Amino acid sequence: TLRAGVLAVQGDVSEHASAIQRAAAAHDETAEVVEIRESGLVPDCDALLLPGGESTTISRLVHREGIDEEIVAHVDAGKPVLATCAGLIVSATDAQDDRVDTLNIVDATIERNAFGRQKDSFEAPLDVSGLDEPFPAVFIRAPVIDYVGEGVDVLAAWEDRPVAIRDGPVVGTSFHPELTDDPRIHDLAFFDSVES
């Protein structure tokens, strides 16, 4: 059983929980989803999910509850993380916004609300390295990844900008992989790296 913590201080949780269950089932595995709202739970998790929502709020609550250092320790131990949209903003080295105190677990500079300024959301078929078929990616006031460090792999790009990246055990996406029935991004982040 994979013990997967989903950060639940703010943002969408249940869709991620079902995607994790579907990804586990595809491996004949089971997953136990733990909702993280306080410190003390992350150290027992095998994998962590940092969902979308509002990055300023998520960042504030993660620090207030003392969950920040536990997330950093999880990554230092090489355990997998999937950080989506606002979760990616909070994970970055630089969110170019003083209201977001980032975790520095993904070597990237992010610009908030940069995709879809004209249009709040859109869906696009995305080629993702490691996946055979395009992934239906839903972008909602999505962040743009402006810069990635040397050790970061770009897994997917849209309009010549990275929208899915991997920095060691952490996979980050600008889009919302939980908003379709397709669990392949959760699979890529949690099961591929757990097995390797």
Is position 16 an interface residue for ligand GLN (rule: CB under 6 A)? no
Which residue lies nearest ligand GLN, judged by its C-beta? 52
Cβ atoms of residues 87 and 186 within 8 Å: no
Closer to ligand GLN by Cβ: residue 2 or 9? 9
Rounded Cα gap, residues 97 and 184, in angstroms: 31
Please confirm, yes or no, whether 45 is among the known catalytic residues. Answer: no
Cβ atoms of residues 110 and 152 within 8 Å: no
Is position 60 an interface residue for ligand GLN (rule: CB under 6 A)? no
Is position 169 an interface residue for ligand GLN (rule: CB under 6 A)? no
Cβ atoms of residues 190 and 196 within 8 Å: no
C-alpha dist (Å) from residue 33 to 6, 23, 119, 166: 7, 12, 33, 23
Q: Which stretch binds ligand GLN (CB under 6 A): 53-61, 65-73, 101-109, 180-188?
A: 53-61
C-alpha dist (Å) from residue 141 to 38, 41, 184: 27, 30, 22
Least distance from C-beta 92 to ligand GLN, angstroms? Answer: 11
Q: Which amino acid is it at 141?
A: R
Structure-block tokens of residue 45: 């998790």
Contacting residue, 112, 166, 184, 186, with ligand GLN by CB under 6 A: 112
Q: Which stretch binds ligand GLN (CB under 6 A): 13-21, 46-54, 163-171, 183-191?
A: 46-54
**Which of the residues 16, 70, 85, 186 is marked catalytic?**
85
**Which of the residues 16, 70, 74, 176 is marked catalytic?**
176
Which residues of the shown chain bind ligand GLN in the complex (CB under 6 A)? 52-55, 85-86, 89, 112-113, 140-141
List binding-site positions. 53-55, 112, 140-141
